[in-house]
Amino acid sequence: MGVRALLVTALLTAAVGYYLYTPLPDAIQEPWKLLAVDAGFRTIMHLASLKHWLGLDHSATSIQRSIDGFESTVKSLVGSESSGGVIPGVKVSDVSFAGIPVRVYEPPAGGEGHLRRGLVYLHGGGWALGSAKKGSWDAVNRMVSDELNTVVVSVEYRLYPEVLFPEPYLDCLAAAKHFLSPAVLAKYSVDPERVAVAGDSAGGNLAAAVAQGISMDESVAVKFSVQALIYPVLQALDFNTPSFLQNQHMPILRRDTMVQFWLQYLGADLSLLPQLVANNHSASQHSGITPELRSRIDWTALLPQKFKKNYKPVVVEKGSQEILKKVPGFLDVRAAPLLAGPEVLAKCPRAFIITCEFDVLRDDGLMYARRLQDAGVSVTNEHYEEGFHGSFSFLFWPMDFDVGKRSVRAYINWLQNNL
């Protein structure tokens, strides 16, 4: 091999290594597997952005197609059982609740008069990706139905770019109300005293918001008994919490990506991203953000010292007054459940909240746990020191992580003991 060929090979190797490598904390287990998964996701997103720029396809649609293609390839290679396939005895039906597509998982029928648990599950994906019928969401819901004798309703709510806020929330709320109606619970032999709502990431956002909405709705006789929130996204006024700063470049969810998801969900111009990253939209002089409202997301008061570390609040004095006027969703509790008042939180069901140390959303979950507790709600916070965003979904080869399997088991065990 000539000198030129060696040089080209060395440069290509260095380029691949640079693309793959992101400095990771020592606590992360299986770091090279995480880097490989992250590089795959980033490649999918870059290609989707290119297609969008060329006018060939919408970026969100392109990303979803790529993920679906990858999952289909894995299933064909390893078989459906290894990738969370059919569980004997669990009946799966794709139906509609109040006009919203849902997938219902029913365990084997019990004896005469035997009532089962119920659970409404809302999948994650930044309000733009994912499906109730695919991936780990489908697999975990099958497991819960089978192991806990539970009727699981997984909601196929509409996504960006088809719809914007508040439509996904309204879809989930409508499906939940339908399931909670006495006639439907009776049809599925579900105990009205044992119904949960759960979700991960953006689905955790929707689950928290739906739990609040149901709790405050006097027209709904049956309420949720518990809520399970897996690294939920709960506010969009402070993108400089300690976890957002500490993990801004961490796989699988970087700070800029989370901000972009918010802008898409709320129908805002993506060019606002730098302003949000700088907290210019939540300036101290903004008349729409009262001291009381700001206290509800004040991490300096709500986080334990071990999570605050040496970070300082980023509060802009003047900022941009126009952003919140143009995008009122930033202050809407249906979009940002952490902004809800204590009188609302006090009526919410007891909670299970998973947080991960290396996740930009860690502090959202920790602050919500504290505020629920302050309002008198019982909360179990399962924190993973080696966890990262998305780990709950990484259960099957080749994207299986021990922390993901342990967090799913903790979720199922908590439901077993509390629902």
Confidence of residue 14 (pLDDT cuts 50, 70, 90): very low
Nearest Cα neighbor of 150 from 158, 140, 160, 159 is 140
- Is the pLDDT at 22 greater than 70, yes or no? yes
d(C-alpha 45, C-alpha 59), whole Å: 8
Q: Is there a domain that residue 278 lies in?
A: yes
Exposed/middle/buried for residue 359 (C-beta within 10 Å: 0-12, 13-18, 19+):
buried
Q: Is there a domain that residue 237 lies in?
A: yes
Same domain, 223 and 207: yes
Across the range 352-374, mean pLDDT stands at 98
- Is the pLDDT at 408 greater than 70, yes or no? yes
Q: What is the pLDDT of residue 308?
A: 96
Task: Give tens-digit pLDDT for 130-175.
Answer: 999 999 999 999 999 999 999 999 999 999 999 999 999 999 999 9
Confidence of residue 9 (pLDDT cuts 50, 70, 90): very low
Q: Is 359 a catalytic residue?
A: yes
**Ramachandran area for residue 248 (φ above 0: left; ψ -120 to 50: alpha; else beta):** alpha
Q: Is there a domain that residue 312 lies in?
A: yes
Q: What is the pLDDT of residue 8?
A: 37
Same domain, 159 and 117: yes
Nearest Cα neighbor of 180 from 190, 166, 169, 170 is 190
Across the range 381-400, mean pLDDT stands at 92
Same domain, 185 and 202: yes
Q: What is the pLDDT of residue 11?
A: 36
Do residues 336 and 237 make contact, with C-beta atoms less than 8 angstroms apart?
Answer: yes
Same domain, 222 and 287: yes
Of 77, 109, 137, the position where a domain reaches its end is: 77
Do residues 79 and 85 make contact, with C-beta atoms less than 8 angstroms apart?
Answer: yes
Across the range 267-294, mean pLDDT stands at 92
> What's the farthest any 2 CA atoms get from each other in the chain?
80
Same domain, 226 and 132: yes
Same domain, 311 and 358: yes
Residue 12, phi then psi, degrees to nearest 5: -65, -40
Same domain, 73 and 206: no
- Is the pLDDT at 12 greater than 50, yes or no? no
Annotated catalytic residue within 154, 201, 215, 393: 201
Q: Is there a domain that residue 6 lies in?
A: no
Q: Is there a domain that residue 19 lies in?
A: no
Distance of CA 31 to the CA centre of its chain: 22
- Is the pLDDT at 278 greater than 70, yes or no? yes
Same domain, 43 and 187: no
Do residues 344 and 216 make contact, with C-beta atoms less than 8 angstroms apart?
Answer: yes
d(C-alpha 158, C-alpha 418), whole Å: 30
Across the range 60-87, mean pLDDT stands at 62
Average pLDDT, the chain: 89
Annotated catalytic residue within 389, 391, 393, 407: 389
Q: Is there a domain that residue 25 lies in?
A: no
| CATH for 393 | 3.40.50.1820
Across the range 39-54, mean pLDDT stands at 78
Same domain, 118 and 148: yes
Which residues does 336 contact at the CB level (< 8 Å), separation at least 6? 234, 235, 236, 237, 330
Task: Give tens-digit pLDDT for 330-357.
Answer: 999 999 999 999 999 999 999 999 999 9
Total number of domains in the chain: 2
Across the range 285-291, mean pLDDT stands at 84
Across the range 21-50, mean pLDDT stands at 82
Annotated catalytic residue within 138, 200, 238, 359: 359
Q: What is the pLDDT of residue 79?
A: 54
Which residues does 376 contact at the CB level (< 8 Å), separation at least 6? 346
Q: What is the pLDDT of residue 21?
A: 60
Same domain, 100 and 123: yes
Which residue stretches of 101-166 are H helix?
135-148
Q: Is there a domain that residue 4 lies in?
A: no
Q: Is there a domain that residue 220 lies in?
A: yes
Structural domain for 330, as ranges? 79-419
Q: Model pTM? A: 0.92
CA-angle at 397, arms to 13 and 384, nearest 5°: 90
DSSP 205-258: HHHHHHHHHHHH-TT--S--SEEEEES----SS-S-SHHHHHTTT-SS--HHHH
Of 77, 105, 129, the position where a domain reaches its end is: 77
Q: What is the pLDDT of residue 38?
A: 84
Same domain, 209 and 337: yes
Q: Is 46 a catalytic residue?
A: no
d(C-alpha 288, C-alpha 414), whole Å: 39
Confidence of residue 90 (pLDDT cuts 50, 70, 90): very high
Do residues 317 and 284 make contact, with C-beta atoms less than 8 angstroms apart?
Answer: yes
Q: Is 93 a catalytic residue?
A: no
Same domain, 380 and 394: yes
Of 43, 77, 111, the position where a domain reaches its end is: 77
Task: Mean pLDDT check: name the lowest of 77-91, 201-215, 227-241, 243-257.
Answer: 77-91
d(C-alpha 207, C-alpha 134), whole Å: 19
